C-alpha cells in the first residue's frame, strides 16, 4: 500500500512540483491545501502519512497549521518547505512540531531524503 | 615512537604542560566537591530523598573527575619515572578508590586533605619538571601519611575495597564530546544543527555546545559544531542518531576523558600505555580533531603568515602595475587567487592561536577560595564569558594582572561579614570575573561589591608622597575615576603600604596598568564609595594583526589603531578655539582637545597639516592633527620595547605593503 501525503502550498506550481516528485517515488497525494486552515481540516479528515507544509500561506500560515495539527495528532509527520532566508521561521516550525525541512528551489533527491527521514523518525 | 634520551627534555615540557591541565581540573572538581559537602552539612534539618540522591550523584561525578585526573597523572609520572608525583598520586588514588566504592565518605576533613594533597602534587610536578625528584621530602611524606591513615580506616565493607576496578567505564554520568560537521552544501545549517541536537536529545542529555546554539544561525556558522552528551548510548548509536538528522558529513564521538575540546589536549605522553586505557579518544568518523603543537612553532607560523600578508599586498600592487603596462592578465589573476588563499591562511593561523579565557579563569576559584578563607571573608566568586577567545600569548600574560586585581578586591575591596551586615549588604561579598567581546577588543572585568576606593585617603597620601604637585588643585574627593586610576597606578604610591590600610587599595595597580598597556590594552576604573569597584581591562583580541588608519606626518607614515578612531575629517584651522592655554577643536558642537602630531613627534611645524583623526580612548576624545590620510588596512604588528627606544608613544612597528616601515601609535600613552 502506498504511503499517503497531503501537500500544502498556496502556489499551484509548487503543489504540482512537490506532488510530482512524491508520486514518482511511489506516494499517493491524497489531498492538497492552499491555506493553513484547509491544511488543518484536511489533515483531520485524511490522516495522511506525511504532510508537506509551506511556511507562508494565507489564512493561517504554515507554522500555526503545524501547531494545530500536532496538537490534534502529536505523531503527525510534517515536512516544512521553506525558501532561503527563512531560517528563523523554520526554527519556529520545528519547535512547533515539524520533523524536518527542505529549502526551495527543490532538488528531488533532497526532498526524498528528507521525506525518508521524516517517515523513519521515531 | 621511541624513548630516545635526547627527547627527555621535550617530554618534560609536555609533561609539565599536561600535568598542569590535570591539576587545574583537579582543583575545579575539588571545589565542586567541597560545595556538595557543605550543602550536605547545611541541609540536614529537612531531609529530602530526591535532593539527597541528586547530591550523591553529583558527588560521584566529581569524585570520578578527580579520580580520572589523578589516575592520568600517575600514569604520566610513571612513564617519566617521577617517583614523588607517582607516589602521591598513587596514595590519592587509593583514597579516592575507597571513596568511589563508598567505604569512605568525603566530608569536610577529607576534602581539605584532598586539597592539601593536590598542593603537594602540584609542588612535586614543578620539582620534577625542574629535574628534582625527592619523594622523601618532609612535606610529601606528611601528605602520604595523612592520606594513608584515611585510606586504611576500618570499614565493614573493607573486603570489597581492594577489588575495585581501576579502569573507568564509560558510564552514563560522564559527558562525551560529539563533534559534528554538516555537508558543505547543506542549506540552513543552523536549523539542521538544531535537528541533530534534538535527535541526540532523544538518547540522552545534551549540554554545552560550541559554538553556542545561539550562534548557529549566524551567517558565518559553517556547519561544524560540538556538543557534550551524557547518556548510556554507544558511540555508534550516537553517530547513527546524528546522521539520521540528515546532511551530516562526519560525526566523531570522543570518550569522556577527551571531552575538553577547548584546546589541543590530552594526547597522552608517548609511550604511555595508560593513555589508551583511561582516555584515548574513540572516533566513530574518520578525521583526527586535535593535536598538540609547540607554541613557538605556532608563533613562527603566525610570523611567517604576517610576512606573507605583507608580500601579498605588494604582489597585488605590482601585478596591477604590470597589467597597466600591458602585461598578460593571467598573471594578475593568478596573483589574486594566491592573495585570496593567503588571506584565508592568515585567518586560519590567527584563529589557531585563539583560546577561551576559561583556561585562565579556571585557575582562580581555588585562589579566591583560599585567600577568602585566610582573610576570614565570605565570597561568592562568579566567572562570566568563559568561552570568549583571546590570543594565546595575551592569555598567558593576563593571568597575573587578573590575579592582582582579584587579590586587591578580596583584601581591600570586600568588607568582612560584620561590616557588610552593618552596611545592609548580604554577608557574602560578590566578586565577578567577566570576559566579553567588544568589536575587535576583549574586555575583562574584575568587579566587587565592596567598600569602593576612598578617594580622599588616596589623594591625601599621594600629596604627602609628593606625587601630586602643589599646583594641582585636586582637593577632597572630587577627582574623577580616570584621574584616581592615574594616581593609584603611580608606582610611588602603590608600593606605599600605609595606603592600603588607610584607603583600602593601591597594591599592584601600577603593575597591572603597566602590563595591560604593554599588551596594547587599556585599564580603566569605576568606583563608588560604599558600593564597589570595577577594574576594566580592554585588550585587543589578537596581538598579531590590527586594523589601522595610516596617516602621513612630516613625510613619514604612521599607523593609528583603527579601533579607537571615531572619525577622520579635514582640518579646519578656523574651527580652533583656545581655552586656558589649550587648543580645542569644535567638531559639531563638541570641543575636543587638539594634539598636533607634527609638533609632538618633533617634526618642523608649519604648513602641511590637512586632516584630523578624532580618537576615543576610554571615553575621552582627542583630535589628532596629521598631514594626510593614506588608507585604512590590516597591519601586522611587530612589537618592540618602546621604553628602551625612548619613544614612549609607540606600541610597535609594522611593515607596509610597499616594504616601508611604519610606527604604530600607542594612543593610551599619547592622549
DSSP codes, B94-143: HHHHHHHTTSS---HHHHHHHHHHHHHHHHHHHHHHTT---TT-HHHHHH
All residues of chain A having their beta carbon less than 8 Å from the beta carbon of residue B221 are none
pLDDT range class, residue B287, cuts 50, 70, 90: very low
pLDDT in tens, A14-55: 888 899 999 998 999 999 999 999 999 999 999 999 999 998
Cα B473 to Cα B240, B455, B467, B582: the distances in Å are 74, 14, 13, 17
pLDDT range class, residue B440, cuts 50, 70, 90: low
Looking at residue B592, the DSSP 8-state letter turns out to be E
Least Cα distance to B112 among B21, B31, B20, B26 occurs for: B31
Judge whether B30 and B118 are in contact, CB under 8 Å: yes
Interface-testing mutation among B188, B218, B237, B245, with chain A (most A C-beta atoms within 10 A): B188
Instruction: Nearest by CB to B187, from A84, A94, A122: name it.
Output: A84
All residues of chain A having their beta carbon less than 8 Å from the beta carbon of residue B189 are none
> Helix axis angle, B392-408 relative to B364-375, nearest 10°?
10
Give, rounded to a whole angstrom, the gap between the first and last alpha carbons of chain B. 56
Q: Is the pLDDT of residue B279 over 50?
A: no
Q: Is B246 part of the contact surface with chain A (CB cutoff 8 Å)?
A: yes
**CA atoms lying within 13 Å on the CB side of residue A68:** 17
Q: Distance between CA B519 and CA B533 in Å, rounded?
A: 23
All residues of chain A having their beta carbon less than 8 Å from the beta carbon of residue B191 are 87, 90-91, 94, 101
Judge whether B642 and B651 are in contact, CB under 8 Å: yes
**Nearest-neighbour CA in chain B from A46: distance (Å):** 27
**Coil, strand, or helix at residue B249?**
strand
All residues of chain A having their beta carbon less than 8 Å from the beta carbon of residue B196 are none
Instruction: Nearest by CB to A90, from B191, B202, B246: name it.
Output: B191
Q: What is the CA radius of gyration of chain B?
A: 29
- Chain B, nearest residue to A89 by Cα: B191
Determine whether the interchain pair B191/A84 forms a contact, defined as Cβ–Cβ distance below 8 Å.
Answer: no
Mean pLDDT, range B16-31, rounded to an integer: 86
Determine whether the interchain pair A94/B194 forms a contact, defined as Cβ–Cβ distance below 8 Å.
Answer: yes
pLDDT in tens, B202-248: 888 887 777 877 778 777 788 888 888 888 888 888 988 898 888 88
Q: Is A119 part of the contact surface with chain B (CB cutoff 8 Å)?
A: no
CA angle B664–B668–B670, rounded 5-degree value: 70
Q: Is the pLDDT of residue B341 over 90?
A: no
Determine whether the interchain pair B202/A103 forms a contact, defined as Cβ–Cβ distance below 8 Å.
Answer: no
Question: Residue B163: CB partners within 8 Å, gap ≥ 6?
Answer: none
All residues of chain B having their beta carbon less than 8 Å from the beta carbon of residue A80 are none
Interface predicted TM-score (ipTM): 0.86
SS3 annotation, B42-59: HCCCCCCHHHHHHHHHHH
**Least confident piece of the model among B45-49, B442-446, B474-478, B626-630:** B474-478
Q: Is B187 part of the contact surface with chain A (CB cutoff 8 Å)?
A: yes
Q: Is B215 part of the contact surface with chain A (CB cutoff 8 Å)?
A: no
Instruction: Nearest by CB to A90, from B188, B202, B245: name it.
Output: B188
- Report cis status (omega within 30 of 0) of the bond before A71: no
**Nearest-neighbour CA in chain B from A87: distance (Å):** 6
Cα B386 to Cα B65, B146, B436, B442: the distances in Å are 20, 36, 9, 12
**Least confident piece of the model among B23-32, B123-132, B469-478:** B469-478
Q: Distance between CA B670 and CA B648 in Å, rounded?
A: 8
- Chain A, nearest residue to B193 by Cα: A91
Q: Is B245 part of the contact surface with chain A (CB cutoff 8 Å)?
A: yes
Mean pLDDT, range B145-168, rounded to an integer: 51
Cα B340 to Cα B41, B191, B336, B656: the distances in Å are 62, 30, 6, 18
pLDDT range class, residue A99, cuts 50, 70, 90: very high
Question: Residue B174: CB partners within 8 Å, gap ≥ 6?
Answer: B61, B64, B168, B230, B256, B259
pLDDT at residue number B647: 64
Q: Distance between CA B276 and CA B11 in Å, rounded?
A: 18
Judge whether B335 and B316 are in contact, CB under 8 Å: yes
pLDDT in tens, B374-385: 888 889 999 888
The pTM of this model reads: 0.44
Q: Is the pLDDT of residue A70 over 90?
A: yes
Determine whether the interchain pair B244/A101 forms a contact, defined as Cβ–Cβ distance below 8 Å.
Answer: no
Most confident among B96-105, B296-305, B367-376, B473-482 (mean pLDDT): B367-376
Most confident among B354-363, B457-466, B469-478 (mean pLDDT): B354-363
**Nearest-neighbour CA in chain B from A91: distance (Å):** 6
pLDDT at residue number B480: 78
The string of DSSP letters for B481-547 reads: HHHHHHHHT-HHHHT-HHHHHHHS--TTHHHHHHHHHHTT-EEEEEEETTTEEEEEEEEES-SSEEE
Mean pLDDT, range B47-76, rounded to an integer: 80
- Chain B, nearest residue to A118 by Cα: B245
Q: Is A107 part of the contact surface with chain B (CB cutoff 8 Å)?
A: no
**Nearest-neighbour CA in chain A from B262: distance (Å):** 28
Instruction: Nearest by CB to B188, from A103, A121, A122: name it.
Output: A103
Looking at residue B624, the DSSP 8-state letter turns out to be E
pLDDT in tens, B584-609: 998 888 889 999 998 888 888 767 88
Mean pLDDT, range B519-533, rounded to an integer: 85
Phi, psi at B226, each rounded to 5°:
-130, 150
Mean pLDDT, range B328-344, rounded to an integer: 85
Q: Is the pLDDT of residue B502 over 60?
A: no
Q: Is B217 part of the contact surface with chain A (CB cutoff 8 Å)?
A: yes
Q: For all residues of chain B together, what is the average pLDDT?
A: 77
**Nearest-neighbour CA in chain B from A62: distance (Å):** 17
pLDDT in tens, B479-492: 777 777 777 776 55
Q: Distance between CA B56 and CA B106 in Å, rounded?
A: 11
Amino acid at each position: 500500500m502506498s504511503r499517503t501525503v497531503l501537500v500544502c502550498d498556496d502556489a499551484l506550481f509548487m503543489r504540482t512540483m512537490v506532488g510530482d516528485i512524491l508520486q514518482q517515488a511511489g506516494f499517493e497525494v491524497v489531498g492538497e491545501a492552499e491555506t493553513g486552515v484547509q491544511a488543518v481540516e484536511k489533515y483531520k479528515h485524511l490522516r495522511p502519512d506525511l504532510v508537506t507544509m509551506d511556511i507562508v500561506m494565507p489564512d493561517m500560515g504554515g507554522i500555526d497549521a503545524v501547531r494545530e495539527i500536532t496538537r490534534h495528532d502529536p505523531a503527525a509527520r510534517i515536512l516544512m518547505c521553506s525558501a532561503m532566508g527563512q531560517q528563523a521561521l523554520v526554527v519556529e516550525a520545528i519547535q512547533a512540531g515539524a520533523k524536518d525541512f527542505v529549502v526551495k528551489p527543490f532538488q528531488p533527491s533532497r526532498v526524498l531524503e528528507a521525506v525518508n527521514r521524516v517517515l523513519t523518525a521515531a | 615512537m621511541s624513548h630516545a634520551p635526547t627527547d627527555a627534555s621535550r617530554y618534560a615540557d609536555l609533561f609539565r604542560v599536561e600535568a598542569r591541565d590535570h591539576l587545574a581540573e583537579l582543583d575545579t572538581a575539588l571545589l565542586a566537591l567541597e560545595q556538595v559537602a557543605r550543602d550536605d552539612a547545611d541541609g540536614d534539618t529537612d531531609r529530602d530523598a530526591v535532593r539527597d540522591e541528586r547530591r550523591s550523584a553529583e558527588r560521584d561525578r566529581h569524585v570520578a573527575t578527580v579520580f580520572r585526573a589523578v589516575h592520568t597523572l600517575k600514569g604520566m609520572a610513571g612513564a617519566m619515572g617521577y617517583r614523588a608525583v607517582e607516589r602521591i598520586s598513587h596514595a590519592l588514588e587509593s583514597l579516592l578508590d575507597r571513596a568511589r566504592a563508598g567505604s569512605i565518605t568525603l566530608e569536610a576533613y577529607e576534602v581539605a586533605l584532598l586539597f592539601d594533597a593536590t598542593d603537594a602534587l602540584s609542588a612535586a610536578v614543578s620539582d620534577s619538571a625542574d629535574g628534582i625528584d625527592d619523594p622523601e621530602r618532609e612535606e610529601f611524606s606528611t601528605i602520604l601519611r595523612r592520606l594513608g591513615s584515611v585510606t586504611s580506616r576500618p570499614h565493614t565493607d573493607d573486603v570489597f575495597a581492594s577489588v575495585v576496578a581501576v579502569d573507568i567505564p564509560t558510564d552514563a554520568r560522564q559527558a562525551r564530546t560529539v563533534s559534528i560537521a554538516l555537508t558543505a552544501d547543506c542549506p540552513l545549517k543552523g536549523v539542521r544543527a538544531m535537528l541533530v541536537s534534538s535527535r541526540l536529545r532523544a538518547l540522552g542529555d545534551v549540554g554545552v555546545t560550541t559554538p553556542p546554539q545561539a550562534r548557529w544561525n549566524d551567517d558565518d556558522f559553517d556547519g561544524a559544531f560540538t556538543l557534550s552528551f551524557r547518556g548510556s548510548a554507544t558511540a555508534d548509536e550516537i553517530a547513527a542518531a546524528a546522521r539520521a538528522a540528515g546532511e551530516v558529513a562526519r560525526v566523531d564521538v570522543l570518550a569522556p576523558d577527551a571531552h575538553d575540546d577547548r584546546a589541543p589536549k590530552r594526547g597522552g605522553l608517548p609511550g604511555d600505555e595508560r593513555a589508551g586505557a583511561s582516555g584515548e579518544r574513540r572516533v566513530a568518523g574518520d578525521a583526527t580533531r586535535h593535536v598538540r603543537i609547540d607554541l613557538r612553532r605556532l608563533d613562527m607560523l603566525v610570523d611567517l603568515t604576517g610576512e606573507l600578508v605583507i608580500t601579498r599586498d605588494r604582489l597585488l600592487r605590482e601585478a596591477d602595475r604590470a597589467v597597466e603596462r600591458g602585461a598578460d592578465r593571467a598573471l594578475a589573476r593568478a596573483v589574486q587567487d594566491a592573495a585570496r588563499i593567503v588571506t584565508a591562511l592568515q585567518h586560519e593561523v590567527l584563529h589557531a592561536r585563539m583560546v577561551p579565557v576559561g583556561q585562565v579563569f579556571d585557575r582562580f576559584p581555588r585562589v579566591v577560595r583560599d585567600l577568602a578563607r585566610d582573610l576570614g571573608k565570605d565570597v561568592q566568586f562568579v566567572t562570566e564569558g568563559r568561552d570568549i577567545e583571546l590570543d594565546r600569548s595575551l592569555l598567558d600574560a593576563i593571568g597575573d594582572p587578573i590575579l592582582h586585581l582579584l587579590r586587591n578586591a578580596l583584601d581591600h575591596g570586600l568588607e568582612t561579614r560584620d561590616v557588610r551586615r552593618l552596611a545592609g549588604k548580604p554577608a557574602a561579598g560578590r566578586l565577578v570575573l567577566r570576559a566579553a567581546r567588544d568589536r575587535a577588543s576583549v574586555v575583562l572585568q574584575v568587579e566587587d561589591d565592596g567598600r569602593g576606593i576612598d578617594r580622599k585617603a588616596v589623594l591625601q597620601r599621594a600629596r604627602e608622597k609628593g606625587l601630586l604637585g602643589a599646583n594641582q588643585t585636586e582637593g577632597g574627593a572630587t577627582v574623577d575615576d580616570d584621574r584616581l586610576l592615574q594616581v593609584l597606578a603611580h608606582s610611588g604610591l602603590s608600593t606605599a603600604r600605609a595606603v592600603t590600610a588607610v584607603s583600602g587599595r593601591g597594591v599592584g595597580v601600577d603593575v597591572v596598568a603597566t602590563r595591560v598597556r604593554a599588551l596594547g590594552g587599556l585599564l580603566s576604573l569605576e568606583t563608588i564609595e560604599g558600593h564597589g569597584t570595577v577594574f576594566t581591562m580592554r585588550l585587543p583580541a589578537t596581538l598579531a594583526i590590527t586594523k589601522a588608519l595610516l596617516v602621513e606626518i612630516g613625510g613619514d607614515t604612521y599607523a593609528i589603531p583603527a579601533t579607537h578612531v571615531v572619525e577622520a575629517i579635514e582640518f579646519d584651522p578656523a574651527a580652533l578655539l583656545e581655552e586656558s592655554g589649550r587648543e580645542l577643536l569644535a567638531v559639531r558642537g563638541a570641543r575636543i582637545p587638539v594634539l598636533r602630531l607634527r609638533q609632538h613627534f618633533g617634526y618642523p611645524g608649519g604648513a602641511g597639516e590637512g586632516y584630523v583623526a578624532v580618537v576615543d580612548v576610554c571615553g575621552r576624545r582627542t583630535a589628532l592633527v596629521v598631514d594626510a590620510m593614506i588608507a585604512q588596512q590590516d597591519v601586522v604588528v611587530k612589537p618592540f620595547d618602546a621604553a628602551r627606544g625612548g619613544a614612549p608613544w609607540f606600541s610597535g612597528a609594522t611593515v607596509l605593503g610597499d616594504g616601508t616601515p611604519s610606527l604604530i601609535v600607542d594612543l593610551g600613552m599619547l592622549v
